Amino acid sequence: MKLTIDQRWDLVDRIAKETVEVGTYKPGLRDAVADATVRPAIGIPFAIAVLYGFWTFFGEFAGLFTDGFFVRIFGTHWIPFLGEKLAGLPDWAFTILVGDRAVFAEGFGGDPCFAAGGILTTGLFMPFGIVLWAVLALFLMLAVLEDTGYLPRLASLVDSVLHKIGLHGFAIVPTLVSLGCNVPGVTACRPLETRKQRFMMIALLGVFVPCGAQIGMMEELVPELIGWVFLTLAIGYLGFGWVLNKVWPGESPEILMDMPPYQAPVWSNVLRKTWNRTRHFLFVAVPFVLLGCLIVMVLYATGAMDALASALQPFLMAVFGVPAEATPSLVVGFLRKDLAIGLLPIEAMTTYQVFKSVVLLTIYFPCLATFAMLLRELNWKEILYTLGFLVVTILVFGSILNLIGMAGGW
C-alpha cells in the first residue's frame, strides 16, 4: 500500500515521537558562523574575502612553481641543453622537436620557454611548467570549499542575482567547478531543475567560463590584464544569460536547496579529490597540448602556416582586430585554449589587442573534451543553438571590443 504525503508524514512524526529525543543544544561558534555567512550584511563581504583569498593563493602558488622554478629549469637548462644535444638532427625534425633553428641562433629575443616552440621545449613547458600548477592550485581550493559546506551558502547568496537571469543560485557550483575544468563543470549542471536551466548554464559555461589551464596561462603572460578579462567575461555571462532567459522557452523555477552544516575539511578527502582531478587533467590535456604543438610546427615547417595566415588575415582583422601573427593561436584554439593563449604573438600586438584576443579566445570554440560533454548532456537542437550562440557572441563581442578600441584609439 502507498500512503499520501500527509499520511506518510503523520506516520513519520509518530515514529519519531517514540524514538527520537532532541536535547537542548547550545549553538556554538560553528552555528554562529553558519548563520552569519548567509546573512547579506556579513555574508557578502565574507564571500568577497573568500574569493579574494582564493585568487591570492592561486597567484602565489602558481607563481612560486612557474616563475620561481620552471622558467629557470626550462629556460636556462633544458632548452639550451636540447638545442645542443639535438643539433645534429635534420632541419624538419629539429623544428618539430626543439624549435626553429633561426630563432635559436638569434638567442630567442625573449623568453626561450615560449619562443622555442618545439614539442619537447615549449610543448612540455606549457603543461608542466605553467598549467599543471595553476590547475593544481584551483583544484585544491575547490576541494577545500566543497568540503567545508560553504558552496550552498554562496549559492543562496548569489541566487538573488542569478535568478534574475533565469538561473538558479546552485549555478555557482558548476561555474566554480568550471574554473578548474569545464568538463566536470558541465556534469555538475544536473542538479539544476529544468531543461532550460541546464541548457542555459551549459551554454554559458562553454562560452564564458575560462578553465584553470587558460587562467594559468593568462596569469603567466598577461597578469595585469586578468582583472579586465574577468570583468568582461562576467558582463557577457550575465548579459547573455539575461537574453537567453528571455528568448529560450521553458521555466526557471526558484531555488529550493538543502544547506548542510559547516564541517572541517577532511584532509585525506581534499588531497584525494585534488589528485584525482589533476591526474585526469594530465591524461586528457597533455596529449592535446603536444598534438597542438606538433600541428603548429608542422604547419610552419611546410609553409602552410604562412599561406593560412595570409588567407585569414582579412577575417582576423575584421572580426578579432588582431594581426596575422595570431593565426597559429586560432588554429590550435580548437584543441586547447591554453596553448592558444600561449601562442599569442604578444610582442606584435598592442596591449588592447592582447586583451581583446584573450577575451575572444576564451569565448572561442569549447575545447574538444568539453565539446564531447556537450554532446552527452544536450540534444541536437540545443547543441546547434549553443554553437550559434557562440558565433553570435564572438561577432557581438568582437565588434563591440573593436568599436571600443577605435573610440579609445588603442
Partner 1 sequence: MEKKLSEMKYEEEGIVKEIREGLKDKIAGMGIREGRGIKMMTKQPIKGPAVVAVDRANTSIGLGLADKIIVEVGK
Partner 2 sequence: MNKVLLMGQANVGKSVFFNRLAGANVTVSNYPGTSVDFDKGRMLLEGKHVDLIDVPGTFSLQPKDRAEEVAVKMLEQEKDTVVICVIDASKVERGLYLALEIIERGYPVIVALNMWDTAKNAKVKTDVKKLEQILGVPVVPTVATTSEGFKELVSRMREAAPVAIEEITKSVGGDKSETHN
Ligand X SMILES: Nc1nc2c(ncn2[C@@H]2O[C@H](COP(=O)(O)OP(=O)(O)OP(=O)(O)O)[C@@H](O)[C@H]2O)c(=O)[nH]1
Residues that bind partner 2 (CB under 8 A): 1-3, 6-16, 18-25, 143, 146-149, 151-152, 170, 173, 187-188, 190-193, 198, 256-258, 260-261, 263, 266, 269, 272-273, 276
Report yes or no: 123 and 82 within 8 Å, Cβ to Cβ: no
Nearby residues of 193 by Cβ (< 8 Å), 6 or more positions away: 168, 253
Least spacing, CB of residue 242 vs partner 2, in Å: 23
255 contacts partner 1 (rule: CB under 8 A): yes
Cell numbers at 351, concatenated? 596591449
Distance CA 206, CA 185 (A): 9
Cell numbers at 86, concatenated? 639535438
Residue 38 touches which of partner 2, ligand X, partner 1, none (Cβ within 5-8 Å per kind): partner 1
Give the total of residues touching ligand X (CB under 6 A). 3
Neighbour tally for 251: CB within 10 Å: 11
CA distances to 67, 128, 181, 289 from 281, rounded to whole Å, are 21, 11, 8, 11
Report yes or no: 200 and 238 within 8 Å, Cβ to Cβ: no
Stretch that binds partner 1, among 34-42, 139-147, 182-190, 363-371 (CB under 8 A): 34-42
Among 11, 15, 32, 39, binds partner 1 (CB under 8 A): 39
Among 56, 263, 302, 379, binds ligand X (CB under 6 A): 263
Q: Which of 117, 140, 171, 137 is nearest to 298 (CA)?
A: 117
Nearer to ligand X, 34 or 113 (CB): 34
CB-count burial class (<10 Å; 0-12, 13-18, 19+) for 206: buried
Residue 273 touches which of ligand X, partner 2, partner 1, none (Cβ within 5-8 Å per kind): partner 2
251 contacts partner 1 (rule: CB under 8 A): no
Residue 15 touches which of ligand X, partner 1, partner 2, none (Cβ within 5-8 Å per kind): partner 2
What track of x and - describes contact with ligand X for positions 136 through 155 (by CB under 6 A)?
Answer: -----------x--------
Amino acid present at 113: C
Distance CA 199, CA 366 (A): 15
266 contacts ligand X (rule: CB under 6 A): yes
Distance CA 78, CA 119 (A): 13
What track of x and - describes contact with partner 1 for positions 163 through 202 (by CB under 8 A)?
Answer: x-----x---------------------------------
Q: Which of 389, 341, 348, 392 is nearest to 362 (CA)?
A: 341
15 contacts partner 1 (rule: CB under 8 A): no
Least spacing, CB of residue 299 vs partner 2, in Å: 40
What residues line the site for partner 1 (CB under 8 A)? 5-6, 8-9, 13, 22, 34-35, 38-40, 152, 155-157, 159-161, 163, 169, 253-259, 261
What residues line the site for ligand X (CB under 6 A)? 147, 263, 266
